[in-house]
Amino acid sequence: MKIEKAIISTAGYGTRRLPITKTIDKNMLPIGNRPVIDYVVEECVLAGIKDIFLVVNDAKNGQIKAYYGENIRLEEFLQARGAEEKLAKLQTAPKGVRLHYVEQNVNDRYGTSVPVTLVAEKFKLNEHVALCNGDDPFWNAKDGSDVKTLIEGVQSDDESAIMGYEVPKREVPRYGMLEKNADGMLTGVVEKPALREVTSTLVNLNRVVMSPELIKVMVEYTNNHHFGPKDQEYMLTDGYSEYLKRGGKMRVVPSTGQWLDCGSLEGWLNANNVVNSKQ
């Protein structure tokens, strides 16, 4: 299946990484000399994505835009000094790809389903779309892409897909466990199961390909519920459950890369070690 649109969710405050995320967007923390989000964007580009919708925090949206935009004064500074090699490094926007910025007020509605709803309503999406988080790329050697792997896993026009990441059984209770049938189709997501209840070592990281019907379900779910700041968040997993209840099909596609969880200090340090040791 050919999929050319992707949503990357980047709007969270990154409270697990305070105090550094008070001033630096968590998606802009560096892995080597590039920000975390750029590795996710690269995965999308390698998968043939042509339109990337970046859902940004309306209070902190300048950093991502600045990275992919122009810096005329810096260009003039380097040009005057003949620093051609450094000038080339300023070309950070992916070629042949359109970047669209959608602002989210996370003090209004907060949760993983909200970015999908914002983009779907603004751009009238009626096609399959890939969805990624901006702070957890997958590392693949030799220009591999887990976004491409996920897209290639979709086998028919009427199904969606969700990526499953293999972890040791003892770690499954930290995540949402993906349950599937003999045909490889999702039957449910079990949030943080007890160790004795673990029947699958594939966990949910909310990297998905959404069919038009799943997008419709997600928009309805987000708009038909009214959770306050102290209530539950607007969760993608609730939308998945409703989609399955309506007869929707969601294929489980195993990851081929190494997950780099940059939401925690330990994960971010590991991501730097992994990437810098393999470059």
What's the CATH number of domain 5-161+207-230+258-277, 3.40.50.1220, 3.40.140.10, 3.40.630.30, 3.90.550.10?
Answer: 3.90.550.10
Q: What local confidence, expressed as pLDDT, does residue 107 receive?
A: 84
Structure-token pair, residue 30: 């560096």
Give yes or no for a cis peptide into 19 (omega within 30° of 0): yes
What is the rounded radius of gyration, in angstroms, for the C-alpha atoms of the chain? 19
Q: What local confidence, expressed as pLDDT, does residue 186 receive?
A: 97
Q: How does pLDDT run across 80-108, given as a tens digit for each residue?
A: 999 999 999 999 999 999 999 999 988 88
d(CA 154, CA 149) in angstroms, rounded, equals 9
Q: How does pLDDT run across 160-189, given as a tens digit for each residue?
A: 999 999 999 999 999 999 999 999 999 999
Among 2, 230, 9, 210, which Cα is nearest to 103's? 9
Cite the DSSP H helix spans in 175-248: 212-224, 236-245
Q: What local confidence, expressed as pLDDT, does residue 279 receive?
A: 61
Q: What local confidence, expressed as pLDDT, does residue 204 receive?
A: 96
**Extents of the domains making up the chain:** 5-161+207-230+258-277
Determine the straight-line distance between the first and last CA of the chain, rounded to whole angstroms: 31
Is the CB of residue 4 less than 8 Å from the CB of residue 16? no
Indicate whether 229 pLDDT > 80.
Answer: no
d(CA 104, CA 11) in angstroms, rounded, equals 6
State the average pLDDT over residues 206-231.
92
